[in-house]
A and B are shown apart, each in its own frame.
Chain A
Amino acid sequence: MIEVQKASKQFGELNALHEVDWSVQEGEWWGIIGPNGSGKSTLLRLLSGTEQASSGEVLIRGKAASSYERKQLSQMLAVLQQDGLPPVHYPVKDVLEMGRYPFQNWLGQELGNDPEDLIEGIMDKLDLRLLAKRPLDELSGGQRQRVALGQVMVQQPQILLLDEPTTYLDLRYQHQFMELVGNWRKESGITVIAVLHDLNLAAQFCDKLLVLQDGQVTGSGTPQEMLTAEHIRRVYGVEPVIVQHPVSGVPQVLISRHMEE
């Protein structure tokens, strides 16, 4: 599905990414983790085609991401940004409908079937029906992020890129959001790649993790393999304790304070 081969990205003097090798199979859910400034978002931008690699290759379905027509790429790949959607005055339903943009001609006419049923169905799934006519700028952060998820669902992609999607959400909405993505994946089999800060959330939802530090890959594999005390100490420079989640059994990371006598 996605092949990253020796991809590097420089911003002036700064090496944001250095010779990243990575391969994603169809239907997998990957988490990209790593400290601030480790190149997570840059990697995501190479995948989404908004930035080009300085050297190396980013292939999506065997073709360089930058060689796709913008609309063609967006028919296949959707992105949910960290800050989601700005508080515009458009009603929720209009914003959802904008997800059809890649399937419309330059006059804004749908090229395929009428998307009305699709949009209605997604509003039901995400519990947005009651909000359909409310303008986006009157919704809470959690509701707005749900609309943002709805918009990418309307886009019907095969690949979903999430850039720290839960940053501004409280505990309940974080889990609700991840569960919604999980349900969607179960139904449609899409490939999900999520940049995440919360290691425990990543361990619970992702099949595999890619760990970045200073623009380089320090490891990739299952959460059990990646979230070891030694690895986290090395990458994040903190003193971790790894416990097993009592229900699911996935590793969870606790941080110890530097206790001084």
Chain B
Amino acid sequence: MHKKLAGYGGIGIVLLAMTLVICLGIGSVAIPIRDIVMMILHHLPWIGDDVKPDWNPSYEQIIMKVRMPRLVLGMLVGTALAVAGSGFQGVLRNPLADPFTLGVSSGSAVGASALIFFGLQYSFIGSFTLPFVAFITGILTLWAVMALSLDRGKIPTNSLILSGVVMQSFLGAIVSFMTAMSNKTINEILYWTMGSLSLRGWSYTLILLPYLLIGLSLVWGQAKSLNVLSLGERQAAHLGMRVERVKFIILLVCTLLTAAAVSVAGIIGFVGLVIPHVIRLLTGPDYRLIVPLSAIGGAIFMVIADTLARTVLAPTEIPLGVVTAFVGAPFFAYLLHRSKKHGRGGSL
């Protein structure tokens, strides 16, 4: 297992580094890969002083002030959603589960839309008002969904999913209503709900980072419990697991991750659903691999999707959620097809 993790993890990190360097160079101003590598080395501690700056200083401005923060934020959002997705799939033991199944994203969207609708998105605490409120309403939604499905101290998985779906459609209706009633020429609510990473500086990264570090290590730490849980809740209890507690912790942590990601970047679908499945199809059902590799996979996928979003129709930006679904769905279909041919019966 450790060898497998080191192998796949190594490949993943190399792929991520290559994706980063290539995607940093792509844009209205093309920047050579050599310059990007040297610039990054220059900014690293210890070895940085040995690298003499011999590149165009305006390149450094573009990379460090514009493209890098956006790309790093994209990585974190992708990682958060993919890790949350793997956690939700493990606890709900449902292949269709994703970070948005329990209605967290819709909850965040209601908070964000209401602010935008009433023109309050910069009140209270400036540009952080919207992410803050979206985060809070997202968490409140999970609480409501859990309260709805609670049955004598236990949360049965099926009623949890149903409550999530109900909540999602109800809150979705509110968002649609506000979107339709909004009479601005550029519909901000619509754009927010479709997800974007543009014009967000380093501060957003700093908000997201602590959630991500804590969330990733908690979910990864529970990977073995997720494995045992896949034998069924009763069997897990017989093996000594306090099932309700483990479920609650993972659901809560994954919700925090989702709400944090959604509140800074809007609703970016498909990452949390597809990346864990892709990893599962490549490496098998072991969550000790799925969780960390989904973290890397989510980052790679999001960086590529965001690069496409900002360059394909430049200077117009395509909403990120549109790109992730457009790229992700066919890729997923291909993997599903391949796994069928290998005789796994398309099982996920």
Binding site for B on A (CB under 8 A): 48, 50, 70-71, 73-75, 78-79, 81, 85-86, 88-91, 94-95, 98-99, 101-102, 104, 106-108, 135, 137, 155
Contact = CB atoms under 8 A, between A and B. Distances in A.
Q: DSSP majority for the A interface?
A: mixed
B347 A89 contact: yes
B224 interface: yes
Contact of A81 (B222, B235, B284, B288): B235
Interface residues of B, number: 24
Contacts of B286: 90, 94
Interface string B205-247: 0000000000000000111110110111011011111100000
* A-B CB proximity, top 4 nearest: A74-B240, A108-B224, A102-B240, A71-B240
B285 interface: yes
A70 B235 contact: no
Contacts of A135: 284
B347 A99 contact: no
B216 to A, nearest CB: 14
A104 B224 CA distance: 10
Contact of B239 (A74, A94, A107): A74
Contacts of A104: 224
A101 B222 CA distance: 12
B249 to A, nearest CB: 10
Given A98-B228, A106-B221, A137-B347, A89 B240 contact: no
A107 B285 CA distance: 18
Contact of A101 (B224, B344, B347): B224
Given A89-B347, A90-B230, A98 B237 contact: no
A137 B224 CA distance: 19
Nearest to B246: A106
Contacts of B225: 106, 108
Contact of B231 (A70, A88, A91, A102): A88
B232 A89 contact: no
A88 B285 contact: yes
A99 B228 CA distance: 9
A89 B284 contact: yes
12 contacts: A48-B238, A50-B234, A74-B240, A78-B238, A81-B238, A86-B230, A94-B227, A98-B227, A98-B239, A101-B228, A106-B222, A107-B221
B235 A85 contact: yes
Contacts, number: 67
Contacts of A70: 237, 240-242
A86 to B, nearest CB: 6
Contacts of B228: 98, 101
Contacts of A85: 231, 235
Which of B221, B240, B241, B242 has most chain A Cβ within 10 Å?
Answer: B240
Nearest to B242: A70
Contacts of B232: 86
B6 to A, nearest CB: 17
Interface string B102-130: 00000000000000000000000000000
A10 to B, nearest CB: 14
B152 to A, nearest CB: 12
Given A89-B285, A90-B286, A101 B234 contact: no
Contacts of A91: 284
A106 B221 CA distance: 7
B289 to A, nearest CB: 11
Nearest to B285: A89
Nearest to B243: A70
Contacts of B223: 108
Contacts of B221: 106-108
A101 B285 contact: no
A81 B242 contact: no
Contacts of A108: 221, 223-225, 288
A79 B238 contact: yes
B347 A102 contact: no
Interface string B155-191: 0000000000000000000000000000000000000
Contacts of B284: 89-91, 135
A101 B240 contact: yes
Contact of B241 (A90, A99, A101, A137): A101
Nearest to B284: A89
A86 B347 CA distance: 14
Contacts of A81: 234-235, 238
Contacts of A102: 239-240
Most-contacted residue by chain B among A74, A89, A99 (CB, 10 A):
A89
Nearest to A108: B224
B240 A75 contact: yes
Contacts of B231: 85-86, 88, 95, 98
A87 to B, nearest CB: 9
Nearest to B222: A106
Given A81-B234, A95-B231, 15 more contacts: A50-B234, A70-B240, A70-B241, A71-B240, A75-B240, A81-B235, A86-B231, A88-B231, A90-B230, A90-B285, A101-B224, A101-B228, A101-B241, A104-B224, A106-B221
A74 B241 CA distance: 9
Nearest to B1: A94
A71 B285 CA distance: 24
Contacts of B222: 106
A50 B239 CA distance: 11
